[in-house]
């Protein structure tokens, strides 16, 4: 017989709220191990049903597009940016049409065509730091990733608007996810950053419209402008502006967070660091980086995959039920708020041996633990699976390879132990700082 899913046991609402804010993934993992793959959480004004673990991932991958939607969850975001059709909040054929527009400029292939850009931006970021100067890893990675994403998808980086992206994105996402009250979106600092981000989007559109060079390789803005010409009713001005700066919003914290965690894991394991650096140096010695050479870097690949497993930067995605359905013997009603805790499976001890240990061998032949069904979902699944996953993977691998090739990197405080903050994306705290010393000035 189907019953209502149980409420998270033993924790009062305030306890849940505090635990969710301090360590959402850790909290949901604990509930999963205690209660199973479906449970309900109440945290002050928020109530939602959580689907977690490998069986939930398999179920959502199979059925999610039919019985769940993110439309209601992204409505605040869409309203705030005056978008009529915000990608994450639309479903069905309209969503497919919108995904088609960004498919090429967001693709793995586009990133592969820009490998020299990824290497050079990294080399410059390292060389620009005077020897002995210490940097906050989070900020270093965010600036580098933003520059790369801008150059690859839009033809130029964010320049002085970088800080505004961070303020805009952090406040808006926190408000959308219920981590801060909506009225904070009326605060002057947020409004100023919002305006400057949209001004940048307008400027990019105007520059692309004025640039008639037929030999220029089309980028994301050109693809949007072509789609508007083809189907004028499909994209409003708000859709266009948020679409143009979309790569910054979706990519900065995610790729920068992953690179920061990856660097931490490497600095904590000198043997792994040396093994990876050998592979990297050999690859650079063989000639310029290419897609084929990148595919032939098993240690780099496994380190990136193990980072995405152990430090998932988007470990849960909000949805609501669009119809009544049953999962694991429990009934969910139409309209219920859901949280797909995709990252919980990454720590299931039945899937991963010693899941809290960073161990790249588990992502290599013959173990391949992450290949088990439902075991690994850093990019989500279904129709809304991350549109930038291929690009992100190339960016993360090349940037880390270039960092290790060009610089020796040491912890500023040798006894630093990771402390993750959620704002809302997980990120090492600002006490994670490193110093660089140049190993070589050229590739
Ligand atoms: C390590 C890096 C990244 C991770 C872990 C990540 C993860 C995710 C996740 C979990 C989702 C939500 C999936 C869902 O709702 O089911 C998502 C959506 C999305 N991501 Fe990423 N992402 C990363 C980097 C990027 C980058 C670099 C870009 C673009 C340049 C990007 C663009 C997008 C877009 C456009 C969506 C919305 C897709 C849709 O709703 O159809 N992501 N990402």
Q: Is the CB of 150 under 6 A from ligand 1?
A: no
Q: Which of 10-19, 37-46, 87-96, 196-205 has the lowest mean pLDDT?
A: 10-19
Q: Return d(Cα 10, Cα 13) in angstroms, integer.
A: 10
What domain range is 96 assigned to?
13-438
Rounded-to-integer distance, Cα 396 and Cα 398, Å:
6
The DSSP string of 330-391 is: EEE-TT-EEEEEGGGGGG-TTTSSSTTS--GGGGSTTT-GGGSTTS--TT--GGGS-TTHHH
> Taking Cα atoms as reference points, which of 125, 47, 153 lies closest to residue 399?
125
Distance 134 CA to ligand 1 centre (A): 31
Residue 186 lies in a domain: yes
pTM of the model: 0.96
Judge whether 292 lies within some domain.
yes
Is residue 227 assigned to a domain? yes
Q: Give a yes or no: residue 330 inside a domain.
A: yes
- To the nearest 5 percent, what fractions of the chain are helix, strand and coil? 55, 10, 30
In a domain, 7, yes or no: no
For residue 133, what pLDDT is reported?
Answer: 87
Tell me how far the alpha carbon of residue 442 lies from the centroid of ligand 1, in angstroms: 33
Q: What is the pLDDT of residue 47?
A: 87
Query: Atom of ligand 1 at shortest distance to CA of 395?
Result: 27
Distance CA(39)–CA(49), nearest Å, equals 6
Whose CA is closest to atom 40 on ligand 1? Answer: 88
Cα(441)–Cα(52) distance, rounded to whole angstroms?
A: 47
Q: Is 238 a pocket residue for ligand 1 (Cβ < 6 Å)?
A: no
Residue 7 DSSP label: B
Instruction: Check: CB of residue 344 under 8 Å from CB of residue 315.
Output: yes
Task: Indicate if ligand 1 lies below 6 Å from the C-beta of 387.
Answer: yes
In ligand 1, which atom is closest to the CA atom of 396?
A: 1
53 lines ligand 1 (CB under 6 A): no
In terms of Cβ atoms closer than 10 Å to its own Cβ (0-12, 13-18, 19+), residue 331 is middle
The predicted model gives 139-161 an average pLDDT of 96
Is any ligand 1 atom within 6 A of the Cβ of residue 78?
no
Ligand 1 pocket test, pick from 386, 387, 397, 427 with the greatest ligand atom count within 8 Å of Cβ, gives: 386
Of all helices (H) and strands (E), which one includes residue 242? helix 237-244
| Domain-located, residue 3 | no
85 near 236, Cβ under 8 Å?
yes
> Considering the domain boundaries, does residue 349 fall inside one?
yes
Ligand 1 within 6 A of CB of 380: yes
Ligand 1, residue 102: give the atom nearest the CA.
Answer: 35
**How far does residue 279's CA lie from ligand 1's centre (Å)?**
29
Q: Is 392 in the pocket of ligand 1 (CB under 6 A)?
A: yes
DSSP state of 185: G
The residue whose CB lies within 8 Å of the most ligand 1 atoms, and thus the one to mutate among 71, 165, 254, is 254
Cα–Cα distance between 168 and 185 in angstroms, integer? 9
d(CA 370, CA 372): 6
Q: How far apart are CA 149 and CA 147, in angstroms?
A: 6
| Out of 178-187, 248-257, 350-359, 400-409, least confident range | 178-187
CB neighbours (10 Å) of residue 55?
18
Confidence band for 16, pLDDT divided at 50, 70 and 90? confident
Nearest CA to ligand 1 atom 18: 386
Which pLDDT does position 12 carry in this prediction? 62
105 lines ligand 1 (CB under 6 A): no
- Which ligand 1 atom is the nearest neighbour of the CA of 153? 30
Of the pLDDT bands very low, low, confident and very high (cuts 50, 70, 90), residue 151 is very high
Count how many Cα atoms sit within 13 Å of the Cα of residue 185 in the half-sphere of its side chain.
20
Average pLDDT over residues 210-229: 93
Q: What is the pLDDT of residues 353-400, one digit of tens each?
A: 999 999 999 999 999 999 999 999 999 999 999 999 999 999 999 999
Residue nearest ligand 1's atom 31 by CA: 388
Number of structural domains (the chain) is 1
Q: How confident is the model at residue 1 (pLDDT cuts 50, 70, 90)?
A: very low
| 377 close to ligand 1 (CB < 6 Angstrom) | no
What's the average model confidence in pLDDT over 132-136? 90
Q: Please tell me the residue having the least CA distance from ligand 1 atom 35.
A: 387
Contact residues for 93 (Cβ-Cβ < 8 A; gap 6+):
none
Q: Considering the domain boundaries, does residue 264 fall inside one?
A: yes
CA-wise closest residue to 47 among 36, 37, 39, 59: 39
The reply to whether ligand 1 has any atom less than 6 angstroms from the CB of 351 is no
Query: In this structure, what CATH number is given to the domain that contains residue 370?
Result: 1.10.630.10
Average of per-residue pLDDT values in the chain: 94
For a ligand 1 pocket test, name from 85, 259, 388, 427 the mutation site with the most ligand atoms within 8 angstroms of its C-beta: 388
Provide the percentage of residues in the chain whose pLDDT is more than 70: 97
Mean pLDDT of 203-230: 94
DSSP string, 95-153: HHHHHHHHHTTTSHHHHHTTHHHHHHHHHHHHHTSPTT-EEEHHHHHHHHHHHHHHHHH
Q: How far is the CA of 110 from the centre of ligand 1 (A)?
A: 16
Ligand 1 atom with the smallest distance to the CA of 99 is: 41
Instruction: Find out whether 207 and 231 touch, Cβ atoms under 8 Å.
Output: no
* CB of 379 sitting under 6 A from ligand 1: yes
Those residues with Cβ within 8 angstroms of residue 182's Cβ, 6 or more apart along the chain or in another chain: 76, 175
- The b-or-e profile of 199-209 (16+ CB within 10 A means b, else e) is ebbeebbeebe
Reported as a single tens digit per residue, the pLDDT across 80-92 is: 999 999 999 999 9
- Relative to the CA of 149, which ligand 1 atom is closest? 30
pLDDT value at 303 more than 60: yes
């Amino acid at each position: 017989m189907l019953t209502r899913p149980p409420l998270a046991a033993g924790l009062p609402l305030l306890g849940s709220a505090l635990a969710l804010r301090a360590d959402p993934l850790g909290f949901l993992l604990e509930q999963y191990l205690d209660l199973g793959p479906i449970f309900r959480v109440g945290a002050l004004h928020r109530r939602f049903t959580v689907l977690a673990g490998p069986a939930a991932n398999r179920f959502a991958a199979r059925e999610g597009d039919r019985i769940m939607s993110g439309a209601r969850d992204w409505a605040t975001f869409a309203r705030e940016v005056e978008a009529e059709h915000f990608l994450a909040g639309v479903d069905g054929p309209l969503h497919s049409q919108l995904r088609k527009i960004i498919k090429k400029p967001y693709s793995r292939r586009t990133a592969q065509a820009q490998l020299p850009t990824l290497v050079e931006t990294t080399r410059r970021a390292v060389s620009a730091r005077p020897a002995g100067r210490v940097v906050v890893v989070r900020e270093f990675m965010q600036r580098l990733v933003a520059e790369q994403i801008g150059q690859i998808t839009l033809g130029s980086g964010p320049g002085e608007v970088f800080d505004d992206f961070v303020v805009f994105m952090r406040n808006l996402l926190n408000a959308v996810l219920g981590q801060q009250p909506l009225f904070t979106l009326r605060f002057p600092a947020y409004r100023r950053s919002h305006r400057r981000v949209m001004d940048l989007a307008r400027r990019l559109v105007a520059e692309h419209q004025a640039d008639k060079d037929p030999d220029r390789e089309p980028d994301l803005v050109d693809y949007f402008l072509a789609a508007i010409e083809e189907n004028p009713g499909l994209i409003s001005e708000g859709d266009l502006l948020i679409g143009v700066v979309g790569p910054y919003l979706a990519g900065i914290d995610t790729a920068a967070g992953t690179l920061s965690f990856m660097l931490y894991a490497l600095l904590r394991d000198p043997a792994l660091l040396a093994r990876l650096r050998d592979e990297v140096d050999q690859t650079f010695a063989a000639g310029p980086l290419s897609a084929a050479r990148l595919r032939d870097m098993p240690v780099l690949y496994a380190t990136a995959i193990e980072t995405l497993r152990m430090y998932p930067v988007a470990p849960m995605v909000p949805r609501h039920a669009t119809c009544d359905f049953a999962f694991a013997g429990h009934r969910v009603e139409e309209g219920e708020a859901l949280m797909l805790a995709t990252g919980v499976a990454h720590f299931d001890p039945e899937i991963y041996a010693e899941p809290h240990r960073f161990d790249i061998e588990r992502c290599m032949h013959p173990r391949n633990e992450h290949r088990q069904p439902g075991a690994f979902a850093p990019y989500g699944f279904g129709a809304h699976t991350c549109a930038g996953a291929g690009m992100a993977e190339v960016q993360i691998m090349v940037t880390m390879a270039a960092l290790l090739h060009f610089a020796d990197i040491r912890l500023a405080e040798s006894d630093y132990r990771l402390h993750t903050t959620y704002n809302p994306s997980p990120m090492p705290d600002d006490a994670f700082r490193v110093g660089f010393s140049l190993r070589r000035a050229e590739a």
